[in-house]
Copies of this chain bind each other. A is one copy, B any other.
Amino acid sequence: MEKLTHFNNEGRAQMVDVSGKPETVRTAAARSSIEVNDHIYELITNQQIKKGDVLAVAQVAGIMAAKKTWEIIPMCHPIPIKGVNISFDWMEGSENHKILEITAEVKTVGNTGVEMEALTAVSAAALTIYDMCKAVDKGMIIGPTYLIEKTGGVSSSDYRREME
């Protein structure tokens, strides 16, 4: 049985030693979403068409959060991120609702992967959209949030979510 690699011999949490792992190019992509009612959808997209600001602020929030991942997730290593891109896609939701899909791609050259940075980026972007629209409706639903792809590294093989 694999042991959880973040525990030291006493069973307590530790930041695992990655100094022996090679520095390679590593990428990760994660996805979240937020379901909003049609009213909010129209407000965002009309603003977006004119000024694009709700999504612009969410994008900045996601990028800045990716850089702060090691401050938010206790056992994460500080990683010098080399690139982040966040993109949005509107989809049909439940009745009278639209779903905004949020995707973050993160890249680094380092000893450890950037899965957490990608997941943190999409989470912060989704929370920012909630924050900016909550005066209209507090019933928005964030997620599911998950990893869609990971490349690089030798301790674990590349990962790609099987879409059924």
Residues of A within 8 A of B (CB): 1-8, 10-19, 25, 32, 39, 43-44, 47, 50-57, 59-61, 63-68, 70-88, 107-111, 115-116, 119-120, 123-124, 126-128, 130-136, 138-147, 150, 156, 159, 161
Copies of this subunit: 6
The residue in chain B whose Cβ has the minimal distance to the Cβ of A10 is B87
Q: A8–B107 contact, CB under 8 A?
A: no
Which residues of B sit under 8 angstroms from A159, Cβ to Cβ?
Answer: 138
The residue in chain B whose Cβ has the minimal distance to the Cβ of A135 is B5
Q: A11–B75 contact, CB under 8 A?
A: no
The residue in chain B whose Cβ has the minimal distance to the Cβ of A113 is B134
Q: B56–A12 contact, CB under 8 A?
A: yes
